[in-house]
Amino acid sequence: MAPDGRPAFEDAQDTNRRTYQVRTFGCQMNVHDSERMAGLLEDAGMVPVTEGLADVIVFNTCAVRENADNKLYGHLGQLAPLKEKNPDLQIAVGGCLAQKDRDTILQKAPWVDAVFGTHNVGALPALLERARHNSKAQLEILESLEVFPSTLPTKRDSVYSGWVSISVGCNNTCTFCIVPSLRGQERDRRPGEILAEIQALVDDGAIEVTLLGQNVNSYGVEFGDRLAFSKLLRACGQIEGLERVRFTSPHPAAFTDDVIEAMAETPNVMPQLHMPLQSGSDKVLKDMRRSYRSTKFLGILDKVRERIPHAAISTDIIVGFPGETEEDFQATLDVVEQSRFATAFTFQYSKRPGTPAADLPDQLPKAVVQERYERLVALQDRIAAEENAKQVGREVEVLVAAQSGRKSEQTHRLSGRSQDQRLVHFSVPEGAEVPRPGDLVTVTITEAAAFHLVADPATPADYRFRRSRAGDAWDRSQAESCGVPGTGTAGTVPGKGVLLGMPKLPTPVR
């Protein structure tokens, strides 16, 4: 161990430090957990890899989908010959699949050095050091939370936007979901701890936060305050410099009017809601053990739109749940038509061993599920295009992202997210100041497609630019990482320069 108590991986000089890479599969919770893993490794003296193969590769896994196992073992198989050539290479597997499979991972991939679960992320550096010292794989899976993850060191992926966990675990018993058995029962952080973390992010330059929880709006159940989530949203509105607040994902059964009022009355809570539907059939919802019905779901949307007329609403939908009839599926199509979702993340039912749904009769043939899935996607694509078309001519404020679209080299456009979370590709008029990631621009939408909007201002008068603390933080981060000179100057237009370093914002995956 080093004198400060950290695992003594290597010499303190950057040139001699071991490098790491964290590869993430799964949801926003996993993305945020990966930030903690990166923070732990850097706290232990390691640095992120910039080129070539890292000295330590960590897989943060997801177990929600059926192909999660194959995906992991495929990646591990690719590393086996590299590990044989270089025994000093270390490979670790954590997250939900590690929590579920445990010994199976080391049986199938004995070249893995460390396996850890969802409850002991903080053990990662010590497990790697023990594996290296003992020349033996280390397996450590805890059944309950040891340390609340948000107390661990965190290496944020973005300087202008950050994830903040307000709870971990889930108290629901949805028959298709394996998450409660892997993440445990809901544990809520105290409001003061959450607000302190948000304030620290803002002090570092962030202007946007997303509150995370498996069922984010059931926050407060552990300490007996059913209004705790709406109070937390309102408290976020008091943080100076915090311009955008989002949250994901709420459960319809726990969605109360006080949350809608807090959304409407708190200026920095964005006009955007992601709320999983899963199915429009009341019979299927009952079989899924989802404690709401389609009428309640649609009623929530009506109330949100009454108080926040421009709210963009997105959802998750599962197609082909066991026993789903054509009539049930039509009910889902009907609810989707009524809901007018801006985006829907659609999934074919995935049979997960250990869940009640895996043992239900009437598992549907793949061909039936595929055909229904394609019909749902076609419907939602049409609705998304129609809803986006309504945005043409509307003025929107865009938080500029670090990376632009795939066609940015040809279009010379930058990209970012509007307040309602729609993806906007925009151009900078000749002679106008070019924004940095984290800056904000106000533009008028000129074109629309199903999955993005376009704004091409004709003149500088059609384009308003606002420098932000987040843009300044971007400059500082680039100077520290030698990405670009930290001169405080604006960024560059794609095709005329390069914006380095940060991952792009997620786009809808179907």
Domain 14-140 -> CATH class:
alpha beta
Q: What is the mean pLDDT of residues 18-31?
A: 83
Task: Count CB atoms within 10 A of the CB of residue 88.
Answer: 9
Kind of pairing, strands 395-400 and 440-444?
A: antiparallel
Least confident stretch, 34-38, 280-284, 384-388, 484-488: 484-488
Which tokens belong to 65? 């989908």
In the structure, what pLDDT confidence band is assigned to residue 33 with cuts at 50, 70 and 90?
Answer: confident
Percent with pLDDT over 70 in the chain? 86
Q: How far is Cα 215 from Cα 171, in angstroms, rounded to an integer?
A: 9
Of 10-19, 114-123, 160-169, the range with the lowest mean pLDDT is: 10-19
Residue 67 vs residues 26, 98, 161: alpha-carbon distances, Å: 12, 14, 30
Asked if residue 482 belongs to a known ligand binding site, the reply is no
User: Alpha carbon of 161 to those of 129, 377, 399, 496: distances in Å?
Assistant: 32, 30, 10, 25
- The pLDDT of residue 117: 82
Higher-scoring residue by pLDDT: 148, 42: 42
CB 89 within 8 A of CB 121: no
236 is in an annotated binding site: no
Could you give the residue range(s) of every CATH 2.40.50 domain in the chain? Answer: 395-480
Residues 241, 208 contacting (CB under 8 angstroms): no
d(CA 47, CA 44): 9
The CATH T-level fold of domain 395-480 is OB fold (Dihydrolipoamide Acetyltransferase, E2P) (2.40.50)
Fold of 156-270: Transcription Regulator spoIIAA (3.30.750)
CATH 3.30.750.210 residue ranges for the chain: 156-270
What confidence tens digit (pLDDT) does each residue in 331-378 have? 999 999 999 999 999 999 988 878 899 999 999 999 999 999 999 999
Residue 177 annotated as part of some ligand binding site: yes
Q: For the chain, first and last CA: distance in Å? A: 47
* CA atoms of 53 and 28, how far apart (whole Å): 26
Q: What is the 3-state secondary structure (H, E, C) of 376-428?
A: HHHHHHHHHHHHHHCCCCCEEEEEECCCCCCCHHHHCCEEEEECCCCEEEECC
Q: What is the mean pLDDT of residues 135-144?
A: 80
**pTM score, two decimals?**
0.76
- What's the mean per-residue pLDDT of the chain? 86
- The secondary element (H helix, E strand) that includes residue 326 is helix 326-339
Lowest mean pLDDT across 291-295, 357-361, 445-449 = 357-361
**Structure confidence at residue 494 as a pLDDT band (50, 70, 90):** very low
> Amino acid identity, residue 170?
C
Q: What is the pLDDT of residue 120?
A: 79
- Give the model's pLDDT for residue 270: 98
Instruction: Find the mean pLDDT for residues 442-457.
Output: 97
C-beta separation of 131 from 110 below 8 A: no
The set of residues, in sequence order, having a beta carbon less than 8 Å from that of 23 and lying 6+ positions away, is 57, 58, 59, 60, 75
Provide the β-strand partners of residue 464: 442
